[in-house]
Structure 1
Amino acid sequence: MTGPFADYGRPRRVEGGLRARSTRGAIGRSWWSRRFLEVLESFALGTRLTRGRSYARAGQVLDLDVAPGVVTARVQGSRPRPYQVRIAVEPFPAARWEQVEAALAAQAFFSARLLAGDLPAELEELFAATGVPLFPAGVDELDQHCSCPDHAVPCKHLAATFYLLAEAFDADPFELLHWRGRRRADLLDRLRALRAATGPGRDDSNPGRDDGSGGTAAPVSTGDGRDAARTSDGPGAPSTGDGRAVPAVGAARALAPLPAAPLADAVDRFWVAPVPLPDRPPSLAAAPDLLLRQLGAPAAGLGGPGLTERLGRAYREFGRFRPEADRPEADRPEADRQEVADDGAATTSGGGTAT
């Protein structure tokens, strides 16, 4: 073998390296880790990423560290010294993060999920509406570097780091937000403070309106010296700082058109659905005797095909939505009374004793 890579062979075995939990198939269990890898593959990096999958599963990544704007790792290759890997992305400015936090705190749906340690899928939409996409929008947003001699970007060492990074997002979704510039503790503390500042008497779908206050506006700091006011004229979504309101997403989108109500009325109607529920369908989606059809004909000693027919009529009767079913027998339609009489006669003639 000749060429610049003649001195390189199989990677050195590693003891105690970071090994991907996925042993086959796709890597990534949560929506955010799968979405992260999908975005990378959309940059035409799919075939290059697969080169590092075996490295990730073999435990060749010695360590992985996530910091605001940068991910660093050491990956063991064929040389004695591990390669240094660095993946950088521009963290969100502090002003943008304050806008995102205000939008998150304005909707109890997001605050509850984040405080519970989960990232709702609607989070990507909220970040995009605020002007800061959660995932990189182009490959040029990623600054990738590896100390190996391979000129391909990403090389297998970078690719292995991407896969382990996706699994790190699986284990702790807040690592994704940390990479984008906000530590978990700082974000949750900020959300708790913003939620506490709104007070228990404010409505989440209209944060700028206090109960009985007449619709005063509540300013939200944008981090650049300006205040984005929440007014009572709309659904109360915070402003992005350039005059555009952040649209409500998730549950708040469905509840936004509902009028604000005083706290006393809200308590009285706590168990009442804010949106009317659909009526229960009057008929079953499947035939009532569907299971009976799958059993086949019973043995002759049990009644044979005649038993199946009689049970079928009984199941259809049970599954029929008929308010008149509670009427006295004399008031029921003649066809129903005749069917019951036929069933009774068939049972007696089948050799059984009526009791």
Structure 2
Amino acid sequence: MSRWYTESRPIHTDRGLKARSKRGDFAENWWTKRWIEALDHLLDPGRLRRGKRYARQGQVLSIEERSGGVTAAVQGSRSKAYRVDIGLEPIGEDEWERVIDALSGRALFSARLLAGEMPADIEEAFSGAGVSLFPARRGELRTSCTCPDPAEVCKHTAAVHYILAERFDEDPFLLFTLRGRTAEAVISALRARRGEEGEERTDVEPESPSLEAEMGRFWEAGAALDSINVKIKPPAVELSMLRRLGQPGFVGEDLGRLLAPSYEAISDAALEVALGESESTEEEEV
């Protein structure tokens, strides 16, 4: 960047990534709000305002995410788009292992992450490992732009931050990618940890009697049936199975959106039947 800079109007483009937000806040979910709050403390307020305007005008032409950062093209006042690079200090391997241990130790954390959701207090797992999911100090965030603005963070960089924030709303796991781990790697590690815990807790079951010895009792309920304790309650994560399965490749439209009302209706009906039977049983016992 040169030592002098003059404010000028950007060249209009129809090829840009326009922000969904037309006024007010850019964030819809708590993790995106945390990202923007972190930036508000680290970046210049004036350039943040101009960056919002650029993002809403569609001046950001492209964004490419990668492990540890993003590269973007922003149309400014010159014919050639400016290149913006934003880097977030990756979390080390040892720290990531401690984070995964903390996440796997909380059943609700694992359930929400495996369902594609970001737990509200996930920062506890990161702080417990001595790191932060969101940028907490200026040195963690590295930015550069090919524009002539001598400021550490220009409006082009700020515009990329806001478009990136809206992408976080759609895919919170991009935060993990910027910190050095892909969503697939985190989910795979969580499943492996949960599987190991399940194996450690599994007791050796007694050998079952042979089929020939039990043929006469085939249609009878086994004695062990009474020992099964089933607690019926609403799911911790709505539509978790649909979220976990994801979008099938053989369907062009959003199958999850089409099936969601049916899944919700069936779940509500099942809960009504189960809880209704439970309440009537308790009344009879009284």
Q: TM-score, normalised by structure 2?
A: 0.68
1:253-268 matches, cutoff 5 A: 267-268=228-229
Q: Distance in 2 between matches of 1:176 and 1:127?
A: 12
Query: What is aligned with 2:87?
Result: 88
Does the 8 Å CA contact 1:40/1:139 hold for their aligned counterparts? no
Q: Distance in 2 between matches of 1:265 and 1:124?
A: 42
Q: Distance in 2 between matches of 1:266 and 1:162?
A: 55
Query: What is aligned with 1:182?
Result: 181
Task: Measure how far apart 1:96 and its partner are.
Answer: 1.1
Cα displacement string for residues 275-298 of structure 1 (whole angstroms, at most 9, x for unaligned residues): xxxxxxxxxxxxxxxxxxxxxxxx
Does the 8 Å CA contact 1:11/1:78 hold for their aligned counterparts? yes
Query: What is aligned with 1:79?
Result: 78
Does the 8 Å CA contact 1:115/1:188 hold for their aligned counterparts? yes
Query: What is aligned with 2:258?
Result: none
1:290-301 matches, cutoff 5 A: none
Q: Distance in 2 between matches of 1:103 and 1:265?
A: 36
Q: Tell which structure's C-alpha radius of gyration is larger.
A: 1
Task: Measure how far apart 1:211 and its partner are.
Answer: 6.6
Instruction: Quickly say closer, same or farther: Cα 1:199–1:18, change in 2 above 3 A.
Output: same
Instruction: Quickly say closer, same or farther: Cα 1:57–1:183, change in 2 above 3 A.
Output: same
Does the 8 Å CA contact 2:43/2:153 hold for their aligned counterparts? no
Task: Measure how far apart 1:271 and its partner are.
Answer: 5.7
Query: What is aligned with 1:11?
Result: 10
Q: Distance in 2 between matches of 1:265 and 1:104?
A: 34
Q: Distance in 1 between matches of 2:24 and 2:81?
A: 27
The one-letter code matched in structure 1 to 2:67 is P
Task: Measure how far apart 1:268 and its partner are.
Answer: 3.0
Query: What is aligned with 2:19?
Result: 20
1:1-355 matches, cutoff 5 A: 5=5, 9-43=8-42, 45-199=44-198, 202=201, 267-268=228-229, 270=231
Cα displacement string for residues 204-259 of structure 1 (whole angstroms, at most 9, x for unaligned residues): xxxxxx779xxxxxxxxxxxxxxxxxxxxxxxxxxxxxxxxxxxxxxxxxxxxxxx
Structure 2 residue runs of 5 or longer lacking an equivalent are: 205-224, 234-286
Q: Distance in 2 between matches of 1:161 and 1:266?
A: 58
Does the 8 Å CA contact 2:70/2:85 hold for their aligned counterparts? yes
Instruction: Quickly say closer, same or farther: Cα 1:266–1:78, change in 2 above 3 A.
Output: farther
Query: What is aligned with 1:297?
Result: none
Q: How many residues align?
A: 211
Cα displacement string for residues 132-186 of structure 1 (whole angstroms, at most 9, x for unaligned residues): 1111111122111110000122111011011011111111000011100110111
Match of 2:8, SS state, is: coil
Cα displacement string for residues 25-48 of structure 1 (whole angstroms, at most 9, x for unaligned residues): 111111011111111112363333
Does the 8 Å CA contact 1:40/1:46 hold for their aligned counterparts? no
The one-letter code matched in structure 2 to 1:161 is V
Does the 8 Å CA contact 1:11/1:77 hold for their aligned counterparts? yes
The one-letter code matched in structure 2 to 1:61 is V
Instruction: Quickly say closer, same or farther: Cα 1:111–1:79, change in 2 above 3 A.
Output: same
Task: Measure how far apart 1:269 and its partner are.
Answer: 6.9
Structure 1 residue runs of 5 or longer lacking an equivalent are: 203-209, 213-263, 273-355
Match of 2:62, SS state, is: strand
Query: What is aligned with 1:223?
Result: none
Match of 2:113, SS state, is: helix
Instruction: Quickly say closer, same or farther: Cα 1:112–1:5, change in 2 above 3 A.
Output: same
Does the 8 Å CA contact 1:16/1:62 hold for their aligned counterparts? yes
Q: Distance in 2 between matches of 1:81 and 1:105?
A: 47
Please provide the CA RMSD for this pair: 2.4
Q: Distance in 2 between matches of 1:266 and 1:187?
A: 36
Task: Measure how far apart 1:116 and its partner are.
Answer: 0.8
Greater relative contact order structure (CA < 8 Å, 6+ sep) = 2
Q: Distance in 2 between matches of 1:138 and 1:176?
A: 16
